A and B are shown apart, each in its own frame.
Chain A
Amino acid sequence: MRAMCQRLPAKDHQIFQRIQREGISSRSADRPRREVHRLRFLLYELSGYVYHCLPDTERVGGGFMADKTLLKGTEAMAEAALRAGCQVYFGYPITPQSELIEYMAKRMPEIGRTFLQAESEVAAVNMIYGAACTGTRVMTSTSSPGFSLMMEGVSYIAGAVLPAVFINVVRGGPGLGDIQPAQSDYFQGTKGGGHGDYRLIVLSPATIQEAVNMMFDAFDLADRYLNPVLIIADGLLGQMMEPVELPDFLMPDRMPNHDSWALRGKGTRKKHSVTSFDLDPLKLEEMNLANFEKYRKIQQKEVRYEEYLMDDAEVAFVAYGTMGRILKTTIRMAREAGIKAGMIRPITLWPFPEKPIQEAAKKVKMVMSVEMSMGQMVEDVRLAVSGKVPTPFYGRTGGVVPTPTEVFEALKREWEAIV
């Protein structure tokens, strides 16, 4: 971010610094909003963000309801995490999430929390496991190849029924891939990745503000269900800047109580053991069944999604994260061209919002999935639709972000094929 600021003209740099210091407030009469918007635009351009992808409402007219701070996605998530009560952070640098670990390195000691840079993602995830054993709010962040390395520990944490929060700022793959935004880790996040029968609660934000609010939700879900929670953000969300409203610090009395199982030294009580382990298959089956009973409850209670213009829709798009955001522009283009399009945007990728998609399939003529991948979530969409209507797919891979226009063209082709 510093490097980027240096590329700004001196006057803009001053305004930018002031925005950083004081936040953006609609109440400051002395700061023309137009200046702020111009600066935002400039920053998007500088960070390589495709500004025209933003729907109008989010472009300039969204209005600023309260004091806002201009923050990069990774930094906003980091600040939100510590406000949500994250006590300990372990991580390892990897693009495009390195600003998150850097932010934590600076901020955590400032407020008396713990930060440690591990020697690898393998070590980092096991430090997370250790901290989670003590019932401490703990998190890490990484990007695709790093999350692959963490799979061993994620499986152990899920098996040992422990709370922890992970952020995967997804980049293009497979292998070393590239460092551009992608959504090709959907399978890894929602279907396993690690070994054994387990599930992660997987959340996916479409804006930085949503990511900020989601950090609180993520820690709460992890603590309530004693299960690892994964936030899948793509490189775009990680790298772009938006004004965000930061919630207040979580008060200590709202912190979870894990006294009944946490490892803190037995003192005068009976000792606690935390493992993901039983050599007796019947006992291990029992442990897994208990976990799956929990997963069933999560599926009942914790599905989150956004419906966008679905009331009269003839075509339902399904897309998540950045793709879901870009599609709002496509939908507007479609409606102008007479195709009544709407969208179901899954916010929880697991539990997947299959019911609203099932319901939509009864009303619409087509359910079209769009992803920044070769098609991963589309398999869940097709399971939900169960062949009732056509379920075409459009996606770009390798870190390419589809534009609203190219998705609109794809929609027209699919629409003409069925009408």
Chain B
Amino acid sequence: MGGDCMNGKVAFKRPDSLTAKEFTYCPGCLHGVAHRLVAEVLDELKLTGQTIMVAPVGCSVFAYEFFDVDGTVAPHGRATAVATGIKRSLPDRVVFTYQGDGDLAAIGTAETIHTANRGEKITTIFINNAIYGMTGGQMAPTSLVGMKTTTSPYGRNADSEGYPIHVCELLQNLNGVAYLERVSLLTPKDIIAAKKGIKKAFTAQARGLGYSLIEIVSTCPTNWGLSPVESLEWAKQKMLPEFPLKVFIDKVGDVK
């Protein structure tokens, strides 16, 4: 991006850790914001050249094309196991996974819990929008009670489908976790806070403190059947009471 207009300072540009490829996400999807925040953090911590990312199966399966770092795609749910294999082979590199709620909290639950419990020195960006996006709006482990999806057409019934899983609340009891926070991207203020959390998570890894995970409460206008603006409002009213924003574990302390 051009940086020398009128000898002014560059106030805003595409982060170096993103490629020039245009995002392929739906209008109003917050993956783009989440990607940008991760990329800005990698830039600021100067980690781009030593980072290896593990993309998931789901809408963000193409994330490895958007980030200008070495990367691969894991089988559905196995991102943290793949990341473990990378990190154990190259302990001085920075490794992160980017996973949705179906990937991380349904099919990959065992990998998630055991990677966290081992204190694997990797970072997970966990996007929770309470629905399966890529496969077309099916019920997720984090879908709210009563929420209508293509596989819970009468609304999620707690009697038969159980309750939304609270990933941070589950992981907060594991000693291997160094940084654990739930953030959202629903307002500019939330976005600034989210970036701070992501930076702490990568700092935890860089300092070798253990596993770090940032849960991002997000939206899916397409599969929720709402406009982008409506979906932000719906998330604030319905998602945040179920998934309150909170720092669960912080072994990092203050970060610049």
- Total A-B pairs, Cβ < 8 A: 130
Q: Mark B48-72, 1 if CB is under 8 A from A, else 0.
A: 1111101000000100110011111
Q: Mark A128-141, 1 if CB is under 8 A from B, else 0.
A: 11111110101000
Docked complex Cα distance between A11 and B242 (Å): 70
Q: Is B78 within 8 A of A126, CB to CB?
A: yes
Give the contacting residue for B88; candidates A114, A119, A271, A272; CB below 8 A. A114
Docked complex Cα distance between A405 and B50 (Å): 62
A347 an interface residue at 8 Å Cβ cutoff? no
Q: Is B85 within 8 A of A264, CB to CB?
A: no
Query: Which residue of chain A is the closest to B74 with respect to CB atoms?
Result: A126
Give the contacting residue for A264; candidates B70, B83, B110; CB below 8 A. B70
B36 an interface residue at 8 Å Cβ cutoff? no
A5 an interface residue at 8 Å Cβ cutoff? no
Docked complex Cα distance between A120 and B68 (Å): 32
**How far, in Å, is A271 (CB) from chain B's closest CB?**
5
Docked complex Cα distance between A122 and B90 (Å): 21
Give the contacting residue for A131; candidates B51, B54, B89; CB below 8 A. B89
List chain B residues, Cβ under 8 A from A87: 89
**How far, in Å, is A317 (CB) from chain B's closest CB?**
41
Q: Is A119 within 8 A of B110, CB to CB?
A: yes
A123 an interface residue at 8 Å Cβ cutoff? yes
Docked complex Cα distance between A7 and B82 (Å): 43
List chain A residues, Cβ under 8 A from B93: 264-265
Docked complex Cα distance between A277 and B134 (Å): 15
Q: Is A90 within 8 A of B85, CB to CB?
A: yes
Chain B binder among A51-59, A98-106, A152-160, A222-230: A152-160
Docked complex Cα distance between A114 and B54 (Å): 21
A281 an interface residue at 8 Å Cβ cutoff? no
Docked complex Cα distance between A310 and B130 (Å): 66
User: Given the known A-B contacts A126-B75, A126-B78, are A263 and B70 also in contact in the complex, defined by CB atoms under 8 Å?
Assistant: yes
Q: Is A127 within 8 A of B70, CB to CB?
A: no
User: Given the known A-B contacts A123-B110, A265-B93, A271-B68, are A130 and B50 also in contact in the complex, defined by CB atoms under 8 Å?
Assistant: no
Count class of interface residues, chain A:
35 or more
A118 an interface residue at 8 Å Cβ cutoff? yes
List chain B residues, Cβ under 8 A from A272: 70-71
Give the contacting residue for B81; candidates A88, A126, A133, A277; CB below 8 A. A126
Docked complex Cα distance between A293 and B89 (Å): 30
Q: Is A275 within 8 A of B72, CB to CB?
A: yes
**How far, in Å, is B46 (CB) from chain A's closest CB?**
12
User: Given the known A-B contacts A130-B89, A153-B78, are A120 and B110 also in contact in the complex, defined by CB atoms under 8 Å?
Assistant: yes
B43 an interface residue at 8 Å Cβ cutoff? no
Query: Which residue of chain B is the closest to A118 with respect to CB atoms?
Result: B81
List chain A residues, Cβ under 8 A from B48: 266
Q: Is B75 within 8 A of A156, CB to CB?
A: yes
B84 an interface residue at 8 Å Cβ cutoff? yes
A333 an interface residue at 8 Å Cβ cutoff? no
Docked complex Cα distance between A313 and B19 (Å): 66
List chain A residues, Cβ under 8 A from B81: 118, 122-124, 126-127, 129-130
List chain A residues, Cβ under 8 A from B249: none
Q: Is A127 within 8 A of B72, CB to CB?
A: no
**How far, in Å, is A411 (CB) from chain B's closest CB?**
46
Docked complex Cα distance between A265 and B47 (Å): 9
Query: Which residue of chain B is the closest to A134 with respect to CB atoms?
Result: B89
Q: Is A274 within 8 A of B72, CB to CB?
A: yes
B29 an interface residue at 8 Å Cβ cutoff? no
List chain A residues, Cβ under 8 A from B52: 133-134, 263-265
Q: Is A127 within 8 A of B75, CB to CB?
A: no
A339 an interface residue at 8 Å Cβ cutoff? no
List chain A residues, Cβ under 8 A from B90: 134, 136, 264-265
B114 an interface residue at 8 Å Cβ cutoff? yes
User: Given the known A-B contacts A119-B114, A123-B111, A268-B49, are A153 and B89 also in contact in the complex, defined by CB atoms under 8 Å?
Assistant: no
User: Given the known A-B contacts A119-B110, A127-B81, A130-B82, are A271 and B70 also in contact in the complex, defined by CB atoms under 8 Å?
Assistant: yes
B86 an interface residue at 8 Å Cβ cutoff? yes
A267 an interface residue at 8 Å Cβ cutoff? yes
**How far, in Å, is A238 (CB) from chain B's closest CB?**
25
B177 an interface residue at 8 Å Cβ cutoff? no
**How far, in Å, is B91 (CB) from chain A's closest CB?**
8
Give the contacting residue for A88; candidates B65, B75, B88; CB below 8 A. B88
Give the contacting residue for A133; candidates B51, B65, B72; CB below 8 A. B72
Query: Which residue of chain B is the closest to A261 with respect to CB atoms?
Result: B70
A273 an interface residue at 8 Å Cβ cutoff? yes
Docked complex Cα distance between A116 and B233 (Å): 45
Q: Which chain A residues have a beta carbon within 8 Å of chain B's beta carbons?
A: 87-88, 90, 114, 116, 118-120, 122-124, 126-134, 136, 138, 152-153, 156, 160, 263-268, 271-277
A-B contact pairs, 17 of them (CB 8 A): A118-B114, A123-B78, A127-B81, A127-B84, A129-B72, A132-B85, A133-B85, A136-B90, A138-B89, A153-B78, A263-B70, A265-B90, A268-B49, A271-B68, A271-B71, A273-B64, A275-B72
